[in-house]
Amino acid sequence: MPNAVKTALLLGAMTALLMYLGQALGGAQGLVIGFMFAVVTNFASYWFSDKIVLSMYSAQEVGPDHRLYRIVASLAQRANLPMPRVYIIPQPSPNAFATGRNPDHAAVAATEGILQMLNDAELEGVIAHELSHVKHRDILISSVAATLAAAIMMIARFAMFFGGDRRDERGGGNAVAALATVILAPVAAMLIQAAISRSREYDADAGGASLVGDPMGLVNALRKIDSAARIVPLDANPATAHLFIMKPFSLGGIGSLFSTHPPTEARIEALMHQRR
C-alpha cells in the first residue's frame, strides 16, 4: 500500500479516535470539539511534524564542519537525495531518526551518545538506514503518527484530571467511561504506531546496507546501540518511539505488544542473510 494512502488512513483513524475521546468526555459538544481539534492537529502534523518532533528533543542543527553532516552529505549524494537538515540531540543514549514530510523537507538527527560510540563505518550504516526511510517516504507517516499520538496522549492526561465529573443527559455518572477512555486512547495510538513501523525497519535496514555496500557496519552498530540502550535508555516521549533506529526504552512482557521495532537479533539475522 502506498505511503500516501497509509498516511490518509492514519489521519482518518486518529481523527476518529479524537472524536470518540471528545464524545466520551463531553457528549455532543465534546464530539464537535474533538473534530475541530483533529482538524487542527492533522494540519499541524502534516506541515510541521518535523519541527515539533525536533523541538521535543532540543535538537541543535549543525553545518558542514560537523562529522555527522559530512557523513549525511556523502550518503545523500550517493543515494541521489536532496541534502537533509542535520541535527544533534543532546542525550547520552545512542540513537538516531529521520523526520519530515518528503525528501525535499527531510531532517536527520542523531544523539551525542551515538556519535561518541560508533566509528565512521558504523555511523554510516545508521545514517544509510535513516536515508532509506527518507528515500521510501516513510518519514511522513512516521512524523504524522508521532505528532497525532502525542496529541492524543496529552488529551488523555488532561481528561484524567478534568473529564471524570461530567454527567450525561440522564443524570448518571460516566467516570468509568472517562477512565476507560483515558487508558484506551493512548493504547490505541501506540498500537497504530507499532503496526506502521515493524516491517519498515527491515526494509530500511536492507536499503541502508545496499547503499553502503556492506551490512556489517549497520550490524555492528545495532549490536552496540542495543547493548548501550539497556544501560542508558533514551529520555524519549513514547509517542515518538517508532521514529528511532532502535526502541529507546525496554518493553518486556505485555509491553512487547507496543514495541515499534522488531527484535535486534532478528534484524541482524536478516542483514547477515543479505550479505551471503
Which sequence spans correspond to the domains of the chain? 3-275
CA gap 24, 181 in Å, rounded:
7
* Catalytic center residues: 130
CA dihedral angle for residue 6, residue 10, residue 16, residue 19, rounded to 10 degrees: -150
Band (pLDDT 50/70/90 cuts) for residue 171 is very low
Which one is predicted more confidently, 56 or 19? 56
CA gap 240, 190 in Å, rounded:
10
* 257 has pLDDT over 70: no
Which range, 29-38, 89-98, 235-244, is most confident? 89-98
Angle at the Cα of 213 from the Cα atoms of 241 and 85, rounded to 5 degrees:
45
Each residue of 64-100: b (16+ CB within 10 Å) or e?
eeeebbebbeebbeebebeebbbbbbebebbbbbbbb
Nearest to 112 by CA among 85, 86, 89: 89
Bridge-based pairing of strands 96-100 and 85-89 is unpaired
Task: State the burial class of residue 46 (Cβ atoms within 10 Å of its Cβ: 0-12, 13-18, 19+).
Answer: middle
Band (pLDDT 50/70/90 cuts) for residue 255 is very low
Nearest to 169 by CA among 10, 26, 8: 26
Nearest to 204 by CA among 140, 272, 139: 139
Tell me the torsion sign for CA atoms 48, 53, 58, 61.
negative
Sequence-ordered alpha helix ranges (H) in the chain: 3-56, 67-78, 112-117, 120-135, 138-162, 175-212, 216-231, 264-275
In this prediction, residues 190-211 reach a mean pLDDT of 79
* 33 has pLDDT over 90: no
Band (pLDDT 50/70/90 cuts) for residue 253 is very low
Kindly report the pTM of this predicted structure.
0.79
Cell of residue 91, nine digits: 542525550
φ, ψ (nearest 5 deg) of residue 249: -150, 160
Which one is predicted more confidently, 261 or 1? 261
Cell of residue 154, nine digits: 496529552
Task: State the burial class of residue 35 (Cβ atoms within 10 Å of its Cβ: 0-12, 13-18, 19+).
Answer: middle
* 163 has pLDDT over 60: no
**At residue 237, what is the residue type?**
N
